[in-house]
Amino acid sequence: MAENLTNEEKRVVFYSEESQPTISSGVNPETPLSALNLNWREKDLPERERTKHVHRLHPYLGKFIPQLVEIFLRKYFKPGQTVFDPFGGSGTTLVQANELGVNSIAYDISAFNVMLMKAKTDRYELKRLKSEVEDILEKVNLETQTHTHQLALWEREGKYEASNQSEYLASWFAPQALNELLSYRNLIDEYEYKNVLKVILSRSARSSRLTTHFDLDFPKRPQTEPYWCYKHSRTCVPTESAYKFLKRYSQDTIKRIEEYSLLRTNAEVSVFHGDSRYEPIPSIDGLITSPPYVGLIDYHEQHRYAYELLGLEDRRTNEIGPAEQGSSQKAKKTYQGDLVQVFANAMKSMKSGGYLIVVAGDRYGLYDYIAKESYVQIEAIVRRHVNRRTGRRSSEFYEDVFVWRKS
Protein backbone atom coordinates (compact mmCIF):
# COMPACT_ATOMS: atom_id res chain seq x y z
CA MET A 1 0.00 0.00 0.00
CA ALA A 2 1.17 3.50 -0.76
CA GLU A 3 2.78 5.25 2.18
CA ASN A 4 0.83 8.45 1.59
CA LEU A 5 -2.52 6.76 2.28
CA THR A 6 -4.22 7.65 5.54
CA ASN A 7 -4.92 5.00 8.15
CA GLU A 8 -8.61 5.18 7.32
CA GLU A 9 -7.88 4.60 3.63
CA LYS A 10 -5.80 1.57 4.58
CA ARG A 11 -8.65 0.14 6.63
CA VAL A 12 -10.20 -3.04 5.27
CA VAL A 13 -13.77 -3.40 6.48
CA PHE A 14 -15.53 -6.69 5.79
CA TYR A 15 -18.70 -7.74 7.53
CA SER A 16 -20.93 -8.36 4.51
CA GLU A 17 -23.92 -10.62 4.96
CA GLU A 18 -23.21 -12.04 1.51
CA SER A 19 -19.69 -13.47 1.84
CA GLN A 20 -19.09 -16.74 3.67
CA PRO A 21 -17.21 -16.60 7.00
CA THR A 22 -13.59 -17.66 6.64
CA ILE A 23 -12.57 -21.19 7.62
CA SER A 24 -9.22 -20.82 9.36
CA SER A 25 -7.72 -24.04 8.01
CA GLY A 26 -8.19 -22.77 4.46
CA VAL A 27 -5.95 -19.70 4.87
CA ASN A 28 -2.39 -19.63 3.49
CA PRO A 29 0.27 -16.96 2.80
CA GLU A 30 -1.36 -16.18 -0.56
CA THR A 31 -4.81 -15.52 0.88
CA PRO A 32 -5.54 -11.78 0.42
CA LEU A 33 -6.82 -9.83 3.40
CA SER A 34 -9.73 -8.75 1.24
CA ALA A 35 -10.88 -12.39 1.09
CA LEU A 36 -11.22 -12.69 4.86
CA ASN A 37 -14.60 -12.58 6.55
CA LEU A 38 -13.91 -12.69 10.28
CA ASN A 39 -17.49 -12.00 11.37
CA TRP A 40 -18.39 -15.42 12.66
CA ARG A 41 -21.83 -16.01 14.10
CA GLU A 42 -22.67 -18.70 16.63
CA LYS A 43 -23.81 -21.07 13.90
CA ASP A 44 -20.56 -20.43 11.97
CA LEU A 45 -18.28 -20.94 14.95
CA PRO A 46 -20.05 -22.61 17.90
CA GLU A 47 -18.69 -22.39 21.41
CA ARG A 48 -17.34 -25.94 21.37
CA GLU A 49 -14.99 -24.87 18.54
CA ARG A 50 -13.98 -21.59 20.18
CA THR A 51 -13.13 -23.44 23.39
CA LYS A 52 -11.70 -26.65 21.94
CA HIS A 53 -9.27 -28.85 23.91
CA VAL A 54 -6.99 -26.88 26.29
CA HIS A 55 -8.46 -23.49 25.37
CA ARG A 56 -11.14 -24.18 28.02
CA LEU A 57 -8.78 -25.50 30.67
CA HIS A 58 -9.83 -22.50 32.77
CA PRO A 59 -12.26 -19.61 32.08
CA TYR A 60 -10.50 -16.39 31.13
CA LEU A 61 -12.04 -13.01 30.35
CA GLY A 62 -10.81 -10.95 27.43
CA LYS A 63 -9.09 -13.66 25.39
CA PHE A 64 -9.22 -13.77 21.63
CA ILE A 65 -10.57 -16.85 19.86
CA PRO A 66 -8.12 -19.45 18.52
CA GLN A 67 -9.50 -19.35 14.97
CA LEU A 68 -8.55 -15.68 14.66
CA VAL A 69 -5.00 -16.43 15.79
CA GLU A 70 -4.75 -19.42 13.46
CA ILE A 71 -5.67 -17.35 10.41
CA PHE A 72 -2.87 -14.84 10.92
CA LEU A 73 -0.36 -17.51 11.88
CA ARG A 74 -1.12 -19.31 8.61
CA LYS A 75 -0.85 -16.11 6.60
CA TYR A 76 2.28 -14.53 8.08
CA PHE A 77 4.31 -17.27 9.80
CA LYS A 78 6.00 -20.45 8.59
CA PRO A 79 6.81 -23.63 10.54
CA GLY A 80 10.12 -23.18 12.33
CA GLN A 81 9.72 -19.42 12.72
CA THR A 82 9.05 -17.82 16.11
CA VAL A 83 6.00 -15.78 17.09
CA PHE A 84 5.94 -13.60 20.20
CA ASP A 85 2.99 -12.64 22.41
CA PRO A 86 3.92 -9.83 24.82
CA PHE A 87 0.56 -10.26 26.61
CA GLY A 88 0.46 -14.05 26.81
CA GLY A 89 -2.79 -14.13 28.81
CA SER A 90 -4.39 -17.57 28.60
CA GLY A 91 -1.91 -18.82 25.99
CA THR A 92 -4.06 -18.80 22.85
CA THR A 93 -1.17 -17.71 20.60
CA LEU A 94 1.13 -20.36 22.06
CA VAL A 95 -1.34 -23.22 21.69
CA GLN A 96 -2.26 -22.39 18.11
CA ALA A 97 1.33 -21.73 17.08
CA ASN A 98 2.41 -25.12 18.35
CA GLU A 99 -0.34 -26.84 16.36
CA LEU A 100 1.13 -25.28 13.21
CA GLY A 101 4.77 -26.04 14.02
CA VAL A 102 5.58 -22.40 14.82
CA ASN A 103 7.84 -21.75 17.82
CA SER A 104 6.37 -19.34 20.37
CA ILE A 105 7.41 -17.08 23.24
CA ALA A 106 5.12 -15.29 25.70
CA TYR A 107 5.56 -12.88 28.58
CA ASP A 108 2.94 -11.93 31.12
CA ILE A 109 2.97 -9.89 34.31
CA SER A 110 0.36 -12.16 35.90
CA ALA A 111 1.66 -15.20 37.79
CA PHE A 112 -1.72 -16.89 37.26
CA ASN A 113 -1.50 -16.41 33.49
CA VAL A 114 2.02 -17.85 33.44
CA MET A 115 0.83 -20.90 35.40
CA LEU A 116 -2.12 -21.39 33.04
CA MET A 117 0.00 -21.06 29.90
CA LYS A 118 2.50 -23.60 31.20
CA ALA A 119 -0.26 -26.04 32.14
CA LYS A 120 -1.67 -25.81 28.61
CA THR A 121 1.59 -26.12 26.72
CA ASP A 122 3.83 -28.36 28.85
CA ARG A 123 4.50 -31.88 27.60
CA TYR A 124 3.07 -34.74 29.63
CA GLU A 125 3.44 -38.46 30.01
CA LEU A 126 -0.31 -38.97 29.76
CA LYS A 127 -0.52 -42.14 31.83
CA ARG A 128 1.32 -40.48 34.70
CA LEU A 129 -0.76 -37.31 34.40
CA LYS A 130 -3.99 -39.29 34.64
CA SER A 131 -2.64 -41.22 37.61
CA GLU A 132 -1.65 -38.04 39.49
CA VAL A 133 -4.95 -36.27 38.84
CA GLU A 134 -6.93 -39.29 40.01
CA ASP A 135 -4.68 -39.94 43.01
CA ILE A 136 -4.91 -36.46 44.52
CA LEU A 137 -8.67 -36.47 44.01
CA GLU A 138 -8.98 -39.77 45.85
CA LYS A 139 -6.89 -38.46 48.76
CA VAL A 140 -9.11 -35.38 49.04
CA ASN A 141 -12.13 -37.67 48.95
CA LEU A 142 -10.79 -39.67 51.88
CA GLU A 143 -9.91 -36.53 53.85
CA THR A 144 -13.11 -34.56 53.29
CA GLN A 145 -15.98 -36.75 52.10
CA THR A 146 -15.89 -39.68 54.51
CA HIS A 147 -16.38 -37.83 57.79
CA THR A 148 -19.58 -38.61 59.65
CA HIS A 149 -19.80 -35.01 60.67
CA GLN A 150 -19.84 -32.34 57.93
CA LEU A 151 -19.00 -28.75 58.80
CA ALA A 152 -21.98 -26.44 59.24
CA LEU A 153 -22.41 -24.22 56.20
CA TRP A 154 -22.13 -20.83 57.88
CA GLU A 155 -19.70 -21.70 60.68
CA ARG A 156 -17.59 -18.59 61.24
CA GLU A 157 -16.47 -18.74 64.88
CA GLY A 158 -12.75 -19.26 64.51
CA LYS A 159 -13.03 -23.03 65.02
CA TYR A 160 -12.11 -23.60 61.42
CA GLU A 161 -8.39 -22.97 61.57
CA ALA A 162 -7.65 -22.92 57.82
CA SER A 163 -10.09 -20.09 57.13
CA ASN A 164 -8.25 -17.80 59.52
CA GLN A 165 -5.26 -17.52 57.20
CA SER A 166 -7.14 -15.39 54.68
CA GLU A 167 -10.06 -13.04 55.16
CA TYR A 168 -10.86 -13.40 51.47
CA LEU A 169 -11.05 -17.20 51.62
CA ALA A 170 -13.11 -17.14 54.80
CA SER A 171 -15.57 -14.71 53.23
CA TRP A 172 -15.96 -16.20 49.77
CA PHE A 173 -16.16 -19.94 50.55
CA ALA A 174 -18.43 -22.03 52.74
CA PRO A 175 -16.46 -23.96 55.37
CA GLN A 176 -16.86 -27.36 53.72
CA ALA A 177 -15.84 -26.01 50.30
CA LEU A 178 -12.80 -24.31 51.79
CA ASN A 179 -11.85 -27.46 53.65
CA GLU A 180 -11.90 -29.41 50.36
CA LEU A 181 -9.94 -26.78 48.44
CA LEU A 182 -7.25 -26.46 51.10
CA SER A 183 -6.94 -30.24 51.40
CA TYR A 184 -6.31 -30.42 47.68
CA ARG A 185 -3.86 -27.52 47.74
CA ASN A 186 -1.83 -29.02 50.58
CA LEU A 187 -1.25 -32.20 48.57
CA ILE A 188 -0.06 -30.63 45.31
CA ASP A 189 3.65 -30.62 46.17
CA GLU A 190 3.63 -34.41 46.27
CA TYR A 191 3.19 -34.59 42.49
CA GLU A 192 5.19 -33.82 39.34
CA TYR A 193 2.56 -32.04 37.26
CA LYS A 194 1.89 -29.26 39.73
CA ASN A 195 0.67 -26.62 37.26
CA VAL A 196 -2.12 -28.86 36.01
CA LEU A 197 -3.25 -29.58 39.57
CA LYS A 198 -3.13 -25.89 40.43
CA VAL A 199 -5.32 -25.07 37.42
CA ILE A 200 -7.85 -27.73 38.45
CA LEU A 201 -7.87 -26.27 41.95
CA SER A 202 -8.30 -22.71 40.65
CA ARG A 203 -11.10 -23.64 38.27
CA SER A 204 -12.90 -25.46 41.09
CA ALA A 205 -12.45 -22.49 43.41
CA ARG A 206 -13.92 -20.15 40.81
CA SER A 207 -17.07 -22.28 40.58
CA SER A 208 -17.46 -22.91 44.32
CA ARG A 209 -17.28 -19.31 45.54
CA LEU A 210 -20.21 -17.87 47.45
CA THR A 211 -21.69 -16.06 44.48
CA THR A 212 -24.74 -16.31 42.29
CA HIS A 213 -24.62 -18.80 39.43
CA PHE A 214 -25.15 -16.03 36.88
CA ASP A 215 -22.31 -13.79 38.08
CA LEU A 216 -19.10 -15.83 38.16
CA ASP A 217 -17.13 -13.23 36.20
CA PHE A 218 -17.51 -10.12 38.38
CA PRO A 219 -19.06 -11.02 41.76
CA LYS A 220 -19.23 -7.97 43.99
CA ARG A 221 -19.94 -9.54 47.38
CA PRO A 222 -20.37 -13.01 48.89
CA GLN A 223 -23.88 -14.48 48.49
CA THR A 224 -24.86 -16.22 51.73
CA GLU A 225 -28.64 -16.49 51.33
CA PRO A 226 -30.94 -18.25 48.84
CA TYR A 227 -31.61 -16.09 45.75
CA TRP A 228 -33.60 -16.01 42.54
CA CYS A 229 -31.31 -17.38 39.84
CA TYR A 230 -31.74 -15.83 36.41
CA LYS A 231 -29.58 -18.59 34.89
CA HIS A 232 -31.76 -21.45 36.13
CA SER A 233 -35.09 -19.57 36.50
CA ARG A 234 -35.57 -20.80 40.06
CA THR A 235 -34.46 -20.14 43.62
CA CYS A 236 -30.91 -21.36 44.18
CA VAL A 237 -28.70 -21.57 47.25
CA PRO A 238 -24.98 -20.72 47.53
CA THR A 239 -22.48 -23.51 46.90
CA GLU A 240 -21.55 -25.53 49.96
CA SER A 241 -19.00 -27.92 48.50
CA ALA A 242 -16.06 -27.73 46.07
CA TYR A 243 -15.46 -31.47 45.74
CA LYS A 244 -17.98 -31.96 42.94
CA PHE A 245 -16.11 -29.34 40.92
CA LEU A 246 -12.73 -30.88 41.70
CA LYS A 247 -14.05 -34.20 40.39
CA ARG A 248 -15.71 -32.70 37.31
CA TYR A 249 -12.75 -30.58 36.28
CA SER A 250 -10.26 -33.38 36.93
CA GLN A 251 -12.01 -35.49 34.34
CA ASP A 252 -12.41 -32.58 31.93
CA THR A 253 -8.75 -31.55 32.23
CA ILE A 254 -7.44 -35.03 31.43
CA LYS A 255 -9.73 -35.21 28.41
CA ARG A 256 -8.68 -31.80 27.07
CA ILE A 257 -4.95 -32.41 27.49
CA GLU A 258 -5.29 -35.79 25.78
CA GLU A 259 -7.11 -34.14 22.86
CA TYR A 260 -4.41 -31.50 22.48
CA SER A 261 -1.63 -34.09 22.67
CA LEU A 262 -2.87 -35.49 19.35
CA LEU A 263 -2.50 -32.10 17.66
CA ARG A 264 0.66 -30.60 19.11
CA THR A 265 3.99 -30.59 17.31
CA ASN A 266 7.62 -30.45 18.39
CA ALA A 267 7.68 -26.66 18.08
CA GLU A 268 9.23 -24.93 21.10
CA VAL A 269 7.14 -23.02 23.63
CA SER A 270 8.69 -20.57 26.13
CA VAL A 271 6.73 -18.78 28.86
CA PHE A 272 8.19 -16.00 31.04
CA HIS A 273 6.82 -14.20 34.08
CA GLY A 274 7.91 -10.70 33.22
CA ASP A 275 7.03 -7.25 31.95
CA SER A 276 7.31 -7.09 28.16
CA ARG A 277 8.07 -3.36 28.32
CA TYR A 278 11.48 -4.02 29.84
CA GLU A 279 12.51 -7.68 29.61
CA PRO A 280 15.05 -8.72 26.97
CA ILE A 281 13.17 -10.66 24.29
CA PRO A 282 14.78 -13.60 22.45
CA SER A 283 14.97 -13.46 18.65
CA ILE A 284 11.50 -13.44 17.03
CA ASP A 285 10.07 -13.27 13.51
CA GLY A 286 6.93 -11.33 14.46
CA LEU A 287 4.19 -11.06 17.04
CA ILE A 288 0.50 -11.77 17.51
CA THR A 289 -1.20 -10.37 20.57
CA SER A 290 -4.38 -8.99 22.09
CA PRO A 291 -3.39 -6.24 24.55
CA PRO A 292 -5.53 -5.45 27.60
CA TYR A 293 -8.23 -2.86 26.97
CA VAL A 294 -7.79 0.39 28.84
CA GLY A 295 -9.84 0.60 32.05
CA LEU A 296 -11.77 -2.62 31.47
CA ILE A 297 -10.37 -5.64 33.37
CA ASP A 298 -8.14 -6.07 36.40
CA TYR A 299 -6.36 -9.25 35.39
CA HIS A 300 -5.08 -10.02 38.88
CA GLU A 301 -8.43 -9.43 40.58
CA GLN A 302 -10.14 -11.60 37.95
CA HIS A 303 -8.34 -14.61 39.47
CA ARG A 304 -8.11 -13.41 43.08
CA TYR A 305 -9.20 -16.82 44.40
CA ALA A 306 -6.13 -18.43 42.79
CA TYR A 307 -3.74 -15.83 44.20
CA GLU A 308 -5.17 -16.35 47.69
CA LEU A 309 -5.20 -20.14 47.57
CA LEU A 310 -1.80 -20.62 45.94
CA GLY A 311 0.11 -17.65 47.35
CA LEU A 312 0.95 -16.38 43.86
CA GLU A 313 3.03 -13.22 43.51
CA ASP A 314 0.72 -10.26 42.98
CA ARG A 315 2.14 -7.72 40.53
CA ARG A 316 -1.05 -5.84 39.73
CA THR A 317 0.66 -2.49 40.12
CA ASN A 318 2.52 -3.30 36.90
CA GLU A 319 -0.60 -4.03 34.85
CA ILE A 320 -1.16 -1.98 31.70
CA GLY A 321 -4.57 -0.28 31.49
CA PRO A 322 -6.09 -1.78 34.69
CA ALA A 323 -9.77 -1.22 35.43
CA GLU A 324 -9.10 0.58 38.71
CA GLN A 325 -7.38 3.42 36.83
CA GLY A 326 -10.41 3.91 34.58
CA SER A 327 -10.39 5.37 31.10
CA SER A 328 -9.65 9.04 31.75
CA GLN A 329 -7.53 11.02 29.32
CA LYS A 330 -4.56 10.54 31.61
CA ALA A 331 -5.16 6.76 31.73
CA LYS A 332 -5.42 6.61 27.95
CA LYS A 333 -2.18 8.53 27.48
CA THR A 334 -0.39 6.25 29.93
CA TYR A 335 -1.81 3.22 28.13
CA GLN A 336 -0.59 4.47 24.76
CA GLY A 337 2.88 5.12 26.11
CA ASP A 338 3.04 1.67 27.69
CA LEU A 339 2.06 -0.08 24.45
CA VAL A 340 4.56 1.94 22.43
CA GLN A 341 7.19 0.76 24.91
CA VAL A 342 6.07 -2.88 24.54
CA PHE A 343 6.24 -2.83 20.74
CA ALA A 344 9.52 -0.92 20.67
CA ASN A 345 11.05 -3.49 23.00
CA ALA A 346 9.74 -6.38 20.92
CA MET A 347 11.05 -4.93 17.67
CA LYS A 348 14.58 -4.83 19.06
CA SER A 349 14.51 -8.63 18.71
CA MET A 350 12.39 -8.81 15.56
CA LYS A 351 13.75 -9.33 12.08
CA SER A 352 13.24 -6.53 9.56
CA GLY A 353 9.94 -6.96 7.74
CA GLY A 354 8.40 -8.92 10.61
CA TYR A 355 4.66 -8.61 11.11
CA LEU A 356 2.92 -7.31 14.21
CA ILE A 357 -0.68 -8.54 14.42
CA VAL A 358 -2.52 -6.67 17.17
CA VAL A 359 -6.15 -7.46 18.01
CA ALA A 360 -8.00 -4.75 19.94
CA GLY A 361 -11.33 -3.06 20.35
CA ASP A 362 -10.18 0.49 19.65
CA ARG A 363 -13.29 2.34 20.85
CA TYR A 364 -11.22 5.36 21.91
CA GLY A 365 -9.15 5.58 18.72
CA LEU A 366 -5.84 5.07 20.52
CA TYR A 367 -4.01 2.89 18.04
CA ASP A 368 -3.24 5.40 15.29
CA TYR A 369 -0.98 7.18 17.77
CA ILE A 370 0.49 3.89 19.00
CA ALA A 371 1.33 2.86 15.43
CA LYS A 372 2.85 6.24 14.63
CA GLU A 373 5.02 6.34 17.74
CA SER A 374 6.08 2.70 17.21
CA TYR A 375 7.34 3.59 13.71
CA VAL A 376 5.62 0.62 12.07
CA GLN A 377 4.36 0.35 8.52
CA ILE A 378 0.57 0.07 8.52
CA GLU A 379 -0.37 -2.72 6.12
CA ALA A 380 -4.07 -2.84 6.95
CA ILE A 381 -6.64 -2.57 9.71
CA VAL A 382 -9.20 -5.34 9.43
CA ARG A 383 -12.44 -4.69 11.28
CA ARG A 384 -14.66 -7.51 12.49
CA HIS A 385 -18.22 -7.40 13.80
CA VAL A 386 -17.89 -9.35 17.04
CA ASN A 387 -21.44 -9.41 18.37
CA ARG A 388 -22.72 -11.34 15.36
CA ARG A 389 -20.79 -14.34 16.64
CA THR A 390 -22.89 -15.03 19.71
CA GLY A 391 -25.86 -12.70 19.43
CA ARG A 392 -25.66 -12.02 23.18
CA ARG A 393 -24.56 -8.39 23.08
CA SER A 394 -27.15 -5.67 23.52
CA SER A 395 -25.09 -3.15 21.54
CA GLU A 396 -22.84 -3.14 18.50
CA PHE A 397 -19.26 -4.18 19.16
CA TYR A 398 -16.37 -4.16 16.73
CA GLU A 399 -12.81 -5.35 17.00
CA ASP A 400 -9.84 -4.34 14.86
CA VAL A 401 -6.99 -6.50 13.70
CA PHE A 402 -4.06 -4.15 13.14
CA VAL A 403 -1.62 -5.54 10.58
CA TRP A 404 1.68 -3.70 11.02
CA ARG A 405 5.17 -4.39 9.76
CA LYS A 406 8.58 -3.55 11.11
CA SER A 407 10.40 -1.20 8.75
Burial environment of residue 22 by CB neighbours within 10 A (0 to 12, 13 to 18, 19 or more): buried
188 φ/ψ angles, rounded to the nearest 5 degrees? -60, -40
Helix-, strand-, coil-residue percentages of the chain, each rounded to 5: 40, 15, 45
Domains of the chain plus CATH, in order, are 11-123+265-299+318-406 (3.40.50.150), 126-258 (no CATH)
Q: Which residues pair with 287 in a beta bridge?
A: 84, 356
pLDDT at 163: 46
How far is 314 from 324, CA to CA, in rounded Å?
Answer: 15
Chain segment 77-104, per-residue pLDDT in tens: 999 999 999 999 999 999 999 999 999 9
The single-letter code of the amino acid at 54 is V
pLDDT of residue 232: 82
pLDDT at res. 296: 81
User: Residue ranges of the chain with pLDDT lower than 50?
Assistant: 1-5, 15, 148-160, 162-163, 389-393
Biggest alpha carbon–alpha carbon distance for the chain:
77
Task: For residue range 284-306, list pLDDT tens digits in order.
Answer: 999 999 999 988 888 888 899 99
pLDDT for the residue numbered 242 = 97
Starting from the edge strand earliest in sequence, which strands make up the sheet with 82-85, in order? 11-13, 376-385, 398-406, 355-360, 286-289, 82-85, 103-108, 269-273
